[in-house]
């Protein structure tokens, strides 16, 4: 991967800055239990980076319950799952921020590279507040501000536009397939956080964001 000086680093939230996927999983699992089917950690992988309503559709599919509920019933289920999830993230501690994140943010600030959030989560502001990192961001775009969920590039394009930076000068850090596709569609560099086997479409895969420090020009 070339050593370009990007002007903006856009971060996904869940799975890149903090492991909230485990709390999403527990909340969806409770809902599945109420509906009397088992929901596995492996199935939860498919929900990463996916919007709340799309996640519910996938969950109902895993339980063989697709097409059985009205829109109103599904909205009630999604609300219930969110209440369970919010209960859990209200207790999130700032030491749950992944190691190396603050170090990387400081390197970006030193280089004059803007920091943006591009998350599908409507709970992003609450999570950033709990982690005490809201002040690092030059712009925050979350699930409450976009009309099209990842893999649509809207969330990342908004972040770039808010900062008046061309898409090709942005680099995205993402842990999900949907998010990496969105970054590529936006014409941005897509760095996967995880393992190369799971993220084949990434331009580069690293285990944590601070491993990108040596690539900063
Ligand atoms: P909420 P990200 C995504 O966040 C999560 O990965 C995904 O599991 C979740 O369903 C989605 O946010 C919506 O979250 O229900 O809190 O609005 O990875 O894009 O930061
Ligand atoms: Mg994510």
The closest residue, in CA terms, to atom 7 on ligand 1 is: 49
From 14, 95, 103, 138, active-site residue: 14
Domains of the chain: 8-18+94-215 (3.40.50.1000), 21-89 (1.10.150.240)
| Rounded average pLDDT over 182-198 | 95
36-57 residue pLDDT tens:
999 999 999 899 888 999 999 9
For position 5, what pLDDT does the model report? 84
| Rounded average pLDDT over 75-80 | 98
136-147 residue pLDDT tens:
999 999 999 998
For position 45, what pLDDT does the model report? 87
Which ligand 1 atom sits nearest the alpha carbon of residue 13?
20
The closest residue, in CA terms, to atom 14 on ligand 1 is: 121
CA of 53 relative to ligand 2 center, distance in Å? 16
For position 116, what pLDDT does the model report? 98
From 12, 103, 152, 203, active-site residue: 12
CA of 49 relative to ligand 1 center, distance in Å? 5
155-176 residue pLDDT tens:
999 999 999 999 999 999 999 9
Residue 2 confidence class, pLDDT cut points 50, 70, 90? low
Mean model confidence pLDDT for the chain: 95
For position 145, what pLDDT does the model report? 93
Question: Is residue 29 over pLDDT 60?
Answer: yes
Question: Is residue 4 over pLDDT 80?
Answer: no
What is the percent of the chain where pLDDT is above 90? 92
Question: Is residue 104 over pLDDT 90?
Answer: yes
CA of 195 relative to ligand 2 center, distance in Å? 14
| Ligand 1: lining residues by beta carbon, under 6 Å | 12-15, 24, 47-52, 55, 82, 119-123, 143, 176
Identify the nearest ligand to the CA of 118 by its number. 1
Strands 139-141 and 8-11: unpaired
12 is catalytic: yes
For position 1, what pLDDT does the model report? 53
142 is catalytic: no
């Amino acid at each position: 991967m070339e050593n370009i000086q990007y002007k903006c680093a856009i971060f996904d939230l869940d799975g890149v800055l903090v492991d909230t996927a485990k709390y999403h999983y527990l909340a969806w699992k409770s809902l599945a239990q109420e509906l009397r089917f088992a929901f596995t950690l492996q199935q939860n992988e498919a929900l990463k980076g996916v919007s709340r309503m799309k996640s519910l559709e996938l969950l109902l599919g895993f339980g063989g319950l697709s097409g059985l509920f009205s829109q109103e019933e599904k909205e009630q289920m999604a609300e219930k799952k969110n209440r369970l999830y919010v209960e859990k993230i209200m207790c999130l501690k700032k030491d749950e921020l992944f190691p190396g994140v603050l170090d990387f943010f400081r390197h970006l600030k030193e280089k004059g590279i803007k920091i943006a959030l591009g998350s599908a989560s409507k709970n992003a502001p609450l999570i950033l507040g709990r982690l005490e990192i809201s002040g690092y961001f030059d712009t925050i775009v979350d699930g409450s501000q976009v009309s099209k969920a990842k893999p649509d590039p809207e969330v990342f394009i908004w972040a770039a536009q808010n900062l008046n930076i061309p898409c090709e000068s942005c680099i995205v850090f993402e842990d999900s397939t949907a998010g990496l596709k969105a970054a590529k569609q936006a014409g941005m560099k897509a760095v996967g956080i995880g393992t190369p086997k799971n993220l084949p479409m990434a331009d580069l895969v690293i285990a944590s964001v601070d491993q990108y420090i040596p690539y900063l020009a």
